[in-house]
Amino acid sequence: MPVSEDEFARIEAALTTAQARTSSPIVCVLARASSSYEMMPLVWSILFGLATPWPLLISTQLSAERIFLIQLAIFFVTLVILSLTPLGVMLTPGAIQRANAHRAALGQFMIRGLERDDRHNGVLIYISLAEHYGRIVAADAAAETISQRQWQDVVDKMLGDIKQGAIGDGLIGAASRCADLLAAKFPPGKPGAYALPHRHFHLV
For residue 110, the domain's CATH number is: 3.10.310.50
Residues 23 and 45 in one domain: no
| Burial (0-12, 13-18, 19+ Cβ within 10 Å), 93 | exposed
Average pLDDT for residues 160-164, to the nearest whole number? 92
Helix, strand or coil, per DSSP, at residue 149: helix
pLDDT at res. 153 = 96
User: Against a cut of 0.95, is the pTM above it?
Assistant: no
Judge whether 16 and 200 are in contact, CB under 8 Å. Answer: yes
Question: Concatenated DSSP letters for 54-121?
Answer: HHHHHH----HHHHHHHHHHHHHHHHHHHHHSTHHHHTS-HHHHHHHHHHHHHHHHHHTTGGG-TT--
Residues 197 and 156 in one domain: yes
Could you list the residue range(s) of the whole structural domain that residue 177 is in? 5-35+94-203
* Backbone region of residue 120 per phi and psi (left: phi > 0; alpha: psi in -120 to 50; beta: other values): left
Q: How many domains does the chain have?
A: 2
pLDDT at res. 199 = 77
> Which tens digits make up the pLDDT trace of 72-117?
898 888 888 887 777 777 777 778 888 889 999 999 998 888 877 7
